[in-house]
Copies of this chain bind each other. A is one copy, B any other.
Amino acid sequence: MSTDDLTQGLAAALDGRDADVRRQVRDQLIPHAGLLHEADELPRDAYRERVRDLLLEMTKSGLTGLGFPKEYGGAGDVGASIAAFETLALGDLSILVKSGVQFGLFGGAILHLGTERHHEAYLSDVVSGRLLGCFAMTEHGHGSNVAELGTTLTYDPDTDELIVTTTDANAYKDYIGNAAKDGELAVVFANLVVAGEKHGVHAVLVPIRVDGRPAPGVRIEDDGPKMGLNGVDNGRLWFDDVRVPRANLLNRFADITDDGRYESSIENPNRRFFTMLGTLVQGRVSVGGAALGAARSALTIATLYADRRRQFGSGDGQEMLLLDYGQHQRRLLPLIARTYALTFAQEVLREQLHEVFSAPPETVETQTRRELESRAAGTKALATWHATRAIQECREACGGAGYLAANRFAALKADTDVFTTFEGDNTVLLQLVAKGLLTDYASDFEDLDQFGMVRFVTGVAVETVLERTAAHKLLERVRDLLPGGDSWDQEAELRDPEYHLAMLRFREEHMLGGVARRLKRGVDAGGDPAAVFSGVQDHVIASAHAHVERLVLEAFTAKVDKLPDGPTKDLLARVCSLHALGEIERDRAWFLEHGRLSVARSKAISREVGALCRELRPSASTLVEAFSVPRELLRAEDLIG
């Protein structure tokens, strides 16, 4: 098989179902590659205008609205819409994020939280870009803890209107994309009050700008310069008793009747809130996928550079290629392997999302939705942290040249940095994952905060978790999968995927059991739930992390299994081994501490990681060429020619 065929085989595996959509988006980005240069040079206002204009031009292709129903100009294809968004991340990331604000958050909220009257009134204009809007959830005082938003939405039966009010100094909406300049309409999240009774957070449509000026009662401030994404006009919004018609309430899950009564199909206010939030899961899936796109660009540049840059003699007069240094292989190859792994995990997530959102809502089990939300949260956290780390490592691996804006890392770093904390702070997201695991996604408890979780876990459910994660049971299950009987973890081949999976499954379950035990012990000893939680929080997060790592490895392993025999499969199997052994090596202290690695085997794993890096070194450029980042978008002419 030629290198080209191999590259294509890998690219096809990475692209998955929507290869054609991805190709179209790449083709669409190439003529606008100049924006990457303009972003360095234009003043902020002009850059914002360019981004808006280009985004509007790109909407014409229909690729930005694939997820919307056909009757409003979309394609009714959620999976394809995520694939398109992921690919958009190969270009300027302000375009990406502005697109995400407009179509994912603003349009998505109208689609998922609104009903036909809102769809009819707005969706066509949203999809075409004629109506630009905002998703006004986060407040200055409340980012992660959205349930505590200070903005109120009070129903006035006299005028049949809703009144939007910024109630205190910290309750203004902050960091809102499209707010500072372009947005005309906002989906505003606020605590609804009807007839003096509070009903929790709801969403309402509020015009914020008319003919380019703030609407009456609305105050708008620019968030000013940011670390990156300066083509997006983030801003702050204050509402001084702004009145909108009752019909502006996005009323899919709750409504105010003609006679002024509040009604909802979901009784529990917390559960209602989380159901509403759940429909917005696409945002997290999108950010995780976009982060991987940015990591692809960085790894492509650093790897191609290392495969042509020579530095220091090798004794025979010719200097040595950077990529022939063991340390350099260790820097880049595991990051490439992890990018593959997370891409396949993202594919599983994207397909599950597509299934859930393509099915009639009433046919989808609550548990399925919760598992999807958990997987989205966890994958987003791991993918965005990975992107931050990979881009940083790649920048350093290109030395001082990596510092010049023309070589792409400046924007990649600055623009993606916020990914780890927006659409859910990664740490908070991993807690969400842990909560799901500890409560088995019990729908009755989805609305608990972490302290509620503490109480719950130490109650009835703890027995279930402890039972399930009892060490002997774990080992029994693993033993049946691998040769070697009770000493499977000594006997298994180091590159056996079943061994890797067994190790990651064991870690996950053992950690989870440990958290449950610690929580129970803390509360049994009469501890305050907040203090108990605080003391065990790093274990909570570690167990969520371990869970998602297992999902990621399962996705990679399953992907390799499904490929037809041949060089592509062989190569990917080795990349998968490198990813799996790299993860076991990274956390080998834990495995040593928990009796799953002997000292000799731990050292053998480190050696095997080094050996895999050397074996994969000749394929390094092929592996990144398969990321399919168009040459025009990489810039970096000095580095990779």
Contact = CB atoms under 8 A, between A and B. Distances in A.
Contacts of A224: 40, 404-406
B226 A403 contact: yes
A400 to B, nearest CB: 5
A402 B421 contact: yes
Interface stretch (A116-124, A347-355, A587-595): A587-595
B414 A313 contact: no
A409 interface: yes
A476 interface: no
Interface string A572-613: 000000000000000011001101000100110000001000
Interface residues of A, number: 78
22 contacts: A138-B400, A140-B401, A143-B400, A225-B404, A225-B406, A225-B410, A227-B405, A227-B409, A227-B410, A313-B451, A314-B530, A315-B451, A315-B528, A315-B529, A320-B530, A326-B536, A330-B538, A400-B421, A402-B421, A403-B421, A413-B417, A593-B603
Interface in A335-382: none
With most chain B CB atoms within 10 A of its CB, the pick from A144, A315, A449 is A315
Contact of A449 (B175, B313, B400, B418): B313
A295 to B, nearest CB: 16
A418 B403 CA distance: 6
A615 interface: no
A425 B404 contact: no
Given A226-B403, A396-B420, A402-B421, A638 B140 contact: yes
A327 interface: yes
Contacts of A312: 144-145, 449-450
A403 B425 contact: no
A127 B327 CA distance: 41
A307 interface: no
Contacts of A420: 396
Given A311-B145, A427-B327, A530-B314, A599 B610 contact: no
Contacts of A228: 403, 410
A319 B223 CA distance: 26
A362 to B, nearest CB: 33
A225 B40 contact: yes
A223 B536 CA distance: 50
B410 A534 contact: no
Interface in A143-165: 143-145, 148
Contacts of A226: 403-405, 410
Interface string A523-551: 00000111001111110010000000000
Interface in A296-326: 311-315, 319-320, 324-326
Contact of A399 (B40, B144, B227): B144
B395 A417 contact: yes
A429 to B, nearest CB: 12
Contacts of A445: none
Contacts of A227: 395, 403-405, 409-410, 413-414
Given A40-B225, A225-B41, A534-B326, A421 B450 contact: no
A392 B418 CA distance: 11
Contacts of A538: 326-327, 330, 610
A217 interface: no
Interface in A490-536: 528-530, 533-536
Given A143-B311, A225-B406, 18 more contacts: A138-B400, A142-B311, A143-B401, A174-B400, A225-B410, A226-B405, A227-B404, A227-B410, A313-B449, A388-B392, A399-B425, A400-B422, A403-B417, A413-B417, A592-B592, A593-B599, A593-B602, A593-B603
Nearest to A410: B227
A43 interface: yes
A318 to B, nearest CB: 10
The 9 A-B pairs with the shortest beta carbon distances in the complex, nearest first, are: A227-B410, A589-B589, A225-B405, A314-B530, A40-B225, A326-B537, A327-B537, A326-B534, A592-B592
B537 A325 contact: yes
A266 B576 CA distance: 54
Contacts of A40: 224-225
A404 B223 contact: yes
Interface string A44-67: 000000000000000000000000
Contacts of A405: 224-227
Contacts of A41: 225
Contacts of A402: 421
A595 B592 CA distance: 12
